Amino acid sequence: MIWNPYYEAIDREKLYTLQFLRLKQTLERVYQLVPFYRESFKQAGAEPGDIRSLDDLQKLPFTVKNDLRDNFPYGLFTVDLNEVVRIHSSSGTTGIPTVVGYTQKDLDTWAELMARTLTAGGATKESVVHIAYGYGLFTGGLGAHYGAEKIGATVVPISGGQTKRQVKMMKDLGTTLLACTPSYALFIAETMEEMDLSPKDLKLRSGVFGAEPWSENMRHVIEEKLQIDAYDIYGLSEIIGPGVSYECPAKAGLHLSEDHFIPEIIDSVTGKVLPEGEKGELVITTISKEALPMIRYRTRDITTLTSEPCACGRTHMRMKKVSGRTDDMLIIRGVNVFPSQIESILLEMGETEPHYQLVVDRVGSLDTLQVLVEVSEQMFSDHVRGLETLENKIRAEIDNLLGVTADVKLVEPKSIPRSEGKAQRVVDKRTL
């Protein structure tokens, strides 16, 4: 099933015309209303009038996450606050979160995109959709929620946690579609085993899973254990949230809604646009958003794009599953974590030059984060209790600022391997 055949299966020539019109409108809008864009366009020597084709988009400068932070909270908005009906936010690396805003039209667009996503994942009016993404400032829960409602499905807004109760609800309510992170889907499968329930006891038929990277291998495990079709979905709050791209039953890449976004793949070092099919960093320009348009936003996600026709009939480009990041961001239980955030916590605790290492692993189906911190002169105390208090304090700060539970462990000086004098910050042992 295709939610919106007119746009999702649009003739690509027509699509280019639509994209160009919407791009021009967006560029005029940000140039006139956002000083940041006006300045950065001028510095790059390009004005909206110089953009005469889609290819000319390359003349414009990139936007990065830091630009959102530098203009915190509303500096990049193109509408008055009274037009903004919703805020979402993610934690920031230096304590300043990234804030994104939506007008009513933006929320409608988002719901449309999630309706496409969920429909591609098997949802219909008859579906019972169990949304176990977190509700709140995180875009996962509410994003999926409005999409499922738009379809007319029966929505169970259960959010995260209390997994046994979740399983019981799915069984009792006859849930047909599960929306959550892939690792939580696995955790649900394990919980079902613990509860002596088999997939036959449930009516679950499919799942749309995102907010963290996962592999083909993990797809097979989830499909096997839950006896469902598992679909990958992609999105980021800076662009709109989940629903930027989504898999169809062909499971051969994620269709990116090109009537709302223009994707490019760049070489993350040189910034040059790469030809179709080459692997690089995904850059997205929004062309229909009102509150917070993004021009050439660097997602830091690594993938490839193809416009080859898809068996499902959709004509939008497909991106491969994200294979990595161009920065050091980690996704732990769906939460974005930068090593620099941990560093700033240690700095705030009076450490002048903290040496630390993040060890990420996956035990069973859940991600674990261990933070190793080398004991320094300032930290060291002759008292066991003093050191334990310090560990607890670091743990509490990480939980407080990042929303991730970490196992904090003090280690001996120089015990973290260093390359060129700098400690290796991240060890990711997860085999996805």
For binding to other proteins (CB under 8 A), which residues are involved? Answer: 375-377, 380, 382-384, 387-388, 391, 409-415
Residues 29 and 26: their CA atoms lie apart, in Å, by: 5
Q: How far is the CB of 379 from other proteins (least distance, A)?
A: 9
In this complex, which beta carbon is closest to other proteins, that of residue 200 or of residue 383? 383
CB of 372 to other proteins, least distance (A): 10
Between 38 and 409, CB nearer to other proteins? 409
Beta bridge partners of 229: 206
Q: Which is nearer to other proteins, 80 or 382 (CB)?
A: 382
Where are the strands (E) in 210-342, listed by range? 229-236, 241-247, 254-256, 261-266, 280-286, 297-303, 305-306, 318-319, 324-325, 330-332, 335-337
Please say which residue, 125 or 383, places its beta carbon nearer to other proteins. Answer: 383
Assigned token pair, 4: 């919106």
CB nearer other proteins, residue 9 or residue 387? 387
By beta-carbon proximity to other proteins, the closer residue of 198 and 389 is 389
| Residue pair 375/338 in contact by the 8 Å Cβ criterion | no
Nearer to other proteins by C-beta: 273 or 410? 410
Give min distance, CB of 409 to other proteins, in A. 5
DSSP letter assigned to residue 281: E
Buried/exposed 393-419: b ≥16 CB within 10 Å, e otherwise: ebbebbeebbbbebebebeeeeebeee
Alpha-carbon span 300 to 287, nearest angstrom: 20
CB of 71 to other proteins, least distance (A): 43
Shortest distance (Å) from residue 199 CB to other proteins? 39
Check residue 331 and report its DSSP letter.
E
In angstroms, what is the minimal distance from the CB of 430 to other proteins? 23
User: By C-beta, is 161 or 386 nearer to other proteins?
Assistant: 386
**Contact 185/178 with Cβ under 8 angstroms?**
yes
Total residues found in the chain within this entry: 432
Q: How far apart are CA 99 and CA 137, in angstroms?
A: 9
Three-state DSSP state, 317: coil
CB-wise, 375 or 401, nearer to other proteins?
375
Name the nearest CA neighbour of 69 among 238, 236, 194: 238
Bridge partners, residue 235, by sequence = 242
CB 413 → other proteins: shortest distance, Å?
5
- Provide the strand spans (E) within 206-269: 206-209, 229-236, 241-247, 254-256, 261-266
Cβ atoms of 144 and 151 closer than 8 Å: no
Smallest CA-to-CA distance from 179 within 163, 200, 196, 158 is with 158
CB of 26 to other proteins, least distance (A): 53
Least CB distance from residue 384 to other proteins, whole Å?
Answer: 5
Give the nearer residue to other proteins in terms of CB position, either 353 or 377. 377
User: Minimum CB separation from other proteins for residue 391, in Å?
Assistant: 8
